[in-house]
Structure 1
Amino acid sequence: MNLHLKRLLLYGIALLTAACTAKVENNNVSTAKQPVDYVNPYMGNISHLLVPTFPTIHLPNSLLRVYPERRDFTGDKLSGLPLIITSHRGSSAFNLSPYQGSKNEISPVVHYSYDNEKLTPYSYYVYLDDAEIDVDFGLSHQSAMYEIAFNKDEEAYLVLNSRSGEMNWDGKAVSGFQNLANNTKVYMYMEVEEAPSTTFTIQDNAQVEAAKASGRNAAIVLEYPQSTKKLHVRYGISFIDVAQAKKNMQREVEGKNIAAIQSTGKDVWNEALGRIAVNGGSEDDQTVFYTSLYRCFERPVCISEDGRYYSAFDGSVHEDKGKPFYTDDWIWDSYRAHHPLRVLIDPKKEENIINSFVTMAEQMDNFWMPTFPEITGDSRRMNSNHGVASVIDAYRKGLRGFDLEKAYEACKAGITEKTLAPWSGKPAGELDQFYKDKGYIPALRDGEEETIPEVHNFERRQPVAVTLGTSYDEWCLAQIAKELGKTEDYEYFMKRSLNYRNIYNEQTGFFHPKDKNGKFIEPFDYVFAGGMGARGYYGENNAWIYRWDVQHNVKDLISLMGGNENFVKNLDDMFNASLGRSKYSFYAQLPDHTGNVGQFSMANEPSLHIPYLYNYAGQPWKTQKRIHSLIGEWFRNDLMGVPGDEDGGGMSAFVVFSQLGFYPVTPGSTEYNIGSPFFENSVVHLGNGNDFKIVAKNFSESNKYIQSAKLNGKEWNKPFFSHDDIKDGGVLELEMGDKANKSWGAAAL
């Protein structure tokens, strides 16, 4: 019995024991939920302003992902049935539309009224009520199955649409491809268990007797007699070719029925989610926890297929040499908590992901660590180059399944040879030379024209955000150099990791943009300056959020602000500051800066570490208070239960860590901050076979304050612990109470 299966069995026994007194209403049958039963994929499907979560059906980190295609959760129509979503929150590459009715009214995509939708991470059912069609779906890693039941006594049709590509019928199967960006194609191979009576194509909105269709909305139509009541559709997906898509289908779903596929999917999810076991919290807290953990398995995706993968980074098919290849990872979001979580619960996968990053760098024209690697290559979005943080974080925590020397060279080149200008993959230029010489990115004054070609016309320079982010990146470079014995590099990058000081305004206590002459831009508004998304100076968030963006040297930030008392006052002020305008006006300019508590934004990743900063200034009780209030307010088991763009695990990992009771403020350091747990007992099954347990004694919803603590049996009076303290297993015991013990952990620094 493998380790994870054994853990899953033990977890199920524990849940059954805990649930032995639980009764189902109106009868006396005891019940127990498995981890996947707590997942609510609809949580957050209605956004507060920008991008919602999507109810994604997929297996953990797998190539094949789908979700119902509609304009948003409240959309009244389904646009056909999806076959694969090629990127997180993207649209379907292929579309399947079952249809009964007039042959002359068939369209490439049928829009359905629907009802009784039931969706889990591994299955989907929907009733297309006007059409009177039942749809059941189950999937594996690279293939899936639809079971479609027709309830009208009319001829039946299946319409398969490539969106933009080519579709073929060979007498037995439908195959084809869709063109994506950057010379990348996704291929599909589909067999229907029941043979059609005839087939035809739709091309240029006309029905044609042909076996092949290409172009926009090219579609193959399979026609079935009036007696047809049920169709069984199996298909495979590939980024390599149609032949590989067929192999994927045969390997995973051929000969299996929908129930078996769904049952296997459920087992896979229980194994993955069962790597962390929690109990003792409310039903809603467990739902928020396991739903957040499910989100952490949506990206990145493994695109190895039978030991091969297509890489858009060089346009070639490669052997993976036993190391699965992963992509679709938005590192600007995920380095903060998503990667550190995987280090704990799935270190082998994290090694393969970092190895994939290094391989991408080797495959691209320039040996630069990627920043936003996607199916179609590196999109170079956002600011800074935070892949370096995931490299050093993994290495410092004992992971060795990648070449640190190569990773260092790729990270170093990505930071020093590629431009620091946001959303750009161009080589370093004038802006970067200025940063190298002066230690900050210069800001433009109002009305000053942009002349540097590397700068994106909408994203702008983001000078404060880039200066702060690069200071952290260079600290990470210094730590890797230290591990490699590169003393000169270590000292050079450590000095440069203090560049944030160059834009600190001692008079105001904020990081403040400077012009090319070294003068602060004045007058200045720390809420609204910088135009749309504050991008002229910051990036998506305003100065109140970037005030704390010194993850790697919080002690020095406290010193810059004049000590613990002022530091805490500044934190408190942020949570209490007015928006300064109406919500309408505020969000019209700062649409990413939602989930507000004062000027704090729970909806964007640069904010995630901020509630933990009280720990560094002698008031950890305020961290405990903030974590409970923030998660209680903004992460809930309902349709609006996520405050902003969740980024496929980038934000959800914060919830997972925080509900467990600790958080990695500084990826690249081995230190974790203690917060306040949401459960009486939690067990993190570490990837090395050991367990880290968090025990909250005297636990209740109101008892959120730590009164005393023990770590591995020893009295513990500081709000931090090291990865080394738990890597071989350990126990954090917390005595909880309903009022703050303001002396616990107060003398930490």
Structure 2
Amino acid sequence: MKKVFAAVLIFTGLQAAAQTTPHENLVQYVKPIIGTQRMGHTYPGATVPFGMVQLSPETDTASYELNGHYNPDVYKYCAGYQYDDKTIVGFSHTHFSGTGHSDLGDFLIMPTVGPLKLNPGVADKPGSGYRSAFSHANEVSEANYYKVKLDASNIIAEMTTSTRVGFHQYTFPKSDQAHIILDLMAGIYNYPDKNVWTYVKILNDSTLVGYRQTNGWARTRTLYFAMAFNKKFNQYGFKKYDKREVYGGFWGKFNQSKNFPEIAGKQIRAYFDFKTDEGEKIKIKFALSPVSMDGALANMQAEVPGWDFDAVKSAGQQQWEKELEKITVTGSTEKKQDFYTAMYHTMINPTIYMDVDGQYKGLDQNVHKADGFTNYTTFSLWDTYRALHPLFNIIEPDRNVDMIQSMLKHFDQSPEHMLPVWSNSANENWCMSGYHSVSVLADAIVKGNAPFDANKALDAAVTTARHRSYEGIGEYMNNGYIPDEKTGISVSSTLEYAYDDWAIAQMAKKLNRMDIYDEFIKRSQNYKNVYDPASGFMRPRKADGTFRKKFDPLSTINEGFIEGNAWNYTLFAPQDPEGLIKLMGGNKRFVGYLDSLFTMNLPDKYFAETEDITRDGIIGNYVHGNEPSHHVAYLYNWTDKPWKTQERIRMILNRMYKPTPDGLGGNDDTGQMSAWYIFSTLGFYPVAPASPNYAIGSPAINSAVIRVGNGKTFNITVKNQAEKNVYIQKMTLNGKPLKGLSITHDEIMNGGDLVFYMGSKHK
């Protein structure tokens, strides 16, 4: 049984582990600032691997500004931070990494000096509130460490974390008017009535507890906190903003209370006053719990009992070092920065969601105890089933098992008896299409990483896939496709269900449940039912069997697809590339279709259709910024021109990833974009998770060592590596020629030596 206290920081053990590291420090290559500009939607703040706290600056968080106007640009601030912004509002404790949807941003803290201001103000007038200008020249972003100078106050803000505790360190100037503001109103995508209730209780002159209930993307979410200062505050107070006053614009007419024992309400900002000497450090420990205020206090005491900021920072960075060491690569500094930042981004989500004693809030809103596993949340499964969870089956197998256990508990607690679709914080968000949890379960079972009740997992997958009332599954089962009349994403859902059904079939075959296999392998061929041979595209099909007449295969709006168009989704049958090629007219036509996807000139009007389709993530009509295309470049491997896979992969790597703030060509989507980068840089990719095979691509590093457990390593060597040498001349595995264009999971996990010989001309 795993010990639920395993996350508690044991500094001496971590330090000893670091001293035996046989290679260079890898944390130095992590640049969390990558992806913070434009569409990456990552954040630059501090967190530990899979940590429950993500402590990061907000450059904008509120949907209501000083004048009460709604901020429509919420998509831009999914992570709360945009590199091009000039001001910081404060530092909050929860964030999604790389998502295309906004939420969280809980418990914002901001240090200030001078006359007290409890409103954030507006970006073009920082002095109108507690917001401060800042400069990237005075900003440091590392794994588990963030630092910035707040120009308005001359305060140096630093932060680090443990799994459940955010640790702030603010270096103040001399002041008789030093303040710490705790904004319980702030939040990412803070639309009207998101706050259901907030509560604060003062325990003594340096400690308080409380909670926040929200009705946001996660509809029923309660997060508890404990907040401790290293110095007694002189006094404290709050302002309470009710809805009528906000809508009426009566700013400044609120009742202000001081030295209160406790407060409660929907919209609250609190403050704590100090007198500071020049260079004095005010430190704050801020612990979270999904269960209770007592749980938050216990988490704080267990993980960060003292006030040594540098020790907590060091311990967290040593945790990162341990994770990053699972793959060591050689190459240029820029390649290492790209690679290890990608590793970092794959190990932020899913996030741990339980107290140190194992208690957590379940989907049924009851408190449960994780027995023998760590409970996780933040499952963006439409994205992460493709490469992130397959990566975990290689380098984080134990964590992936715990994530699956968490999914199975979700199923047990679900009134719908469904596995998670997009779940967060004891809520099902019902976002995107498919039932892709089944792929994660199947991939682990097929690859032998299943120390859990695999038959129970299969039963849960089958129950989910037969759930007739969910998103057209009933019509899908009756017709073999979802009719156009049923939903605006009928085609993409049909295609994704068909892949998921294939994954269930592979799981059933592994477990010798052949009745289930026969049912779902047949269902996996349903992708063919939405292919229109007359147009050559997957196309919306009516209930009467006819295809929709008016149809634009380049459009993403109301054409039957989600986050893609017909050109992209026509290639979505990763479970059956051979069948897809035959369906589309054979090798020659299929290659021509693939070539056109990468080389066509997409008209400008299509870039303005949706907020997340811009030129950032597009090559021709290939949309790397949206996940349904992530396997597409590898499909050449099933044609007579596999060298085009090698050519395309290297082109995508060079154009979509770079070690700069705008270095991600699309939302990182809780690590999927980064997982694609890791696999493709190493030279292989899981085109169809739940298959034991990985498709060969074109490695972009000089060498790599993957630590696959049990003391084994899988070593990759690339001969004649160069920017122009993108084509594989030959490959050997353990000294023998590697035939074909795939490698198996067992061949990787057994350890060994894979050697690529590269050249500038294709064979």
Partner of 2:132: 112
The number of aligned residues is 689
Higher mean displacement: 499-508 or 675-684: 499-508
Amino acid at match of 2:461: C
How far does residue 564 in structure 1 lie from its aligned partner after superposition? 2.0
Q: Distance in 2 between matches of 1:296 and 1:318?
A: 27
Alignment of 1:152-551 (within 5 A): 152-163=174-185, 164=195, 165-172=198-205, 173-181=207-215, 182-204=219-241, 205-209=254-258, 210-225=260-275, 227=277, 229-279=280-330, 281-421=331-471, 431-444=472-485, 460-528=487-555, 533-551=556-574
Q: Does 1:38 align with 2:29?
A: yes
- Which ranges of 4 or more aligned residues in structure 1 deviate by more than 6 Å? 1-10
Q: Distance in 2 between matches of 1:57 and 1:171?
A: 28
Q: Distance in 1 between matches of 2:606 and 2:744?
A: 44
Q: Distance in 1 between matches of 2:342 and 2:469?
A: 34
Partner of 1:601: 623
Higher mean displacement: 299-308 or 586-595: 586-595
Partner of 1:560: 583
Could you say if the C-alpha distance between residues 515 and 83 of structure 1 is closer, same or farther in structure 2, counting changes exceeding 3 Å?
closer
How far does residue 586 in structure 1 lie from its aligned partner after superposition? 3.0
Could you tell me whether the CA contact under 8 Å between 1:384 and 1:470 is conserved in 2? yes
- The correspondence for 1:60, drawn from 30, 45, 49, is 49
Amino acid at match of 2:34: M
Identity percentage of aligned residues = 30
How far does residue 699 in structure 1 lie from its aligned partner after superposition? 1.7
1:576-626 CA-to-partner distances (Å, cap 9, x unmatched) read 2221x22x5533257436522211111111111001111111322111111
TM-score, normalization by structure 2: 0.86
Could you say if the C-alpha distance between residues 100 and 8 of structure 1 is closer, same or farther in structure 2, counting changes exceeding 3 Å?
closer
Q: Does 1:588 align with 2:609?
A: yes
Could you say if the C-alpha distance between residues 606 and 106 of structure 1 is closer, same or farther in structure 2, counting changes exceeding 3 Å?
closer
- The correspondence for 1:13, drawn from 1, 22, 26, is 22
Q: Distance in 1 between matches of 2:29 and 2:759?
A: 28
Could you tell me whether the CA contact under 8 Å between 1:66 and 1:92 is conserved in 2? no
Could you tell me whether the CA contact under 8 Å between 2:174 and 2:277 is conserved in 1? no
Q: Distance in 2 between matches of 1:203 and 1:591?
A: 36
* Structure 2 residue matching 1:526: 3-state secondary structure: coil
Could you tell me whether the CA contact under 8 Å between 2:139 and 2:147 is conserved in 1? yes
Q: Distance in 1 between matches of 2:468 and 2:377?
A: 21
Higher mean displacement: 402-411 or 585-594: 585-594
Q: Distance in 1 between matches of 2:515 and 2:410?
A: 27
Structure 2 portions without partners, runs of 5+:
1-9, 61-81, 121-128, 186-194, 242-253
Could you say if the C-alpha distance between residues 715 and 349 of structure 1 is closer, same or farther in structure 2, counting changes exceeding 3 Å?
same
1:428-453 CA-to-partner distances (Å, cap 9, x unmatched) read xxx44432222111114xxxxxxx6x
Q: Distance in 1 between matches of 2:88 and 2:15?
A: 37
Structure 1 portions without partners, runs of 5+:
16-33, 422-430, 445-451, 453-459, 743-749
How far does residue 684 in structure 1 lie from its aligned partner after superposition? 0.9
Amino acid at match of 2:504: L
* Structure 2 residue matching 1:497: 3-state secondary structure: helix
How far does residue 180 in structure 1 lie from its aligned partner after superposition? 2.5
* Structure 1 residue matching 2:225: 3-state secondary structure: strand
Q: Distance in 2 between matches of 1:198 and 1:259?
A: 28
Could you say if the C-alpha distance between residues 468 and 106 of structure 1 is closer, same or farther in structure 2, counting changes exceeding 3 Å?
closer
Amino acid at match of 2:421: T
Partner of 2:189: none
How far does residue 659 in structure 1 lie from its aligned partner after superposition? 0.6
Q: Distance in 2 between matches of 1:8 and 1:390?
A: 32
Could you tell me whether the CA contact under 8 Å between 1:302 and 1:324 is conserved in 2? yes
* Structure 2 residue matching 1:64: 3-state secondary structure: coil
Q: Does 1:151 align with 2:202?
A: no
1:457-483 CA-to-partner distances (Å, cap 9, x unmatched) read xxx431110111111111112122222
Partner of 2:690: 668
Q: Does 1:95 align with 2:116?
A: no
How far does residue 273 in structure 1 lie from its aligned partner after superposition? 1.0
Q: Distance in 2 between matches of 1:3 and 1:474?
A: 45
- RMSD, matched Cα: 2.3
Q: Distance in 2 between matches of 1:625 and 1:63?
A: 40
* Structure 1 residue matching 2:658: 3-state secondary structure: coil
Partner of 1:77: 87
Q: Distance in 2 between matches of 1:226 and 1:638?
A: 38
Could you tell me whether the CA contact under 8 Å between 2:732 and 2:755 is conserved in 1? yes
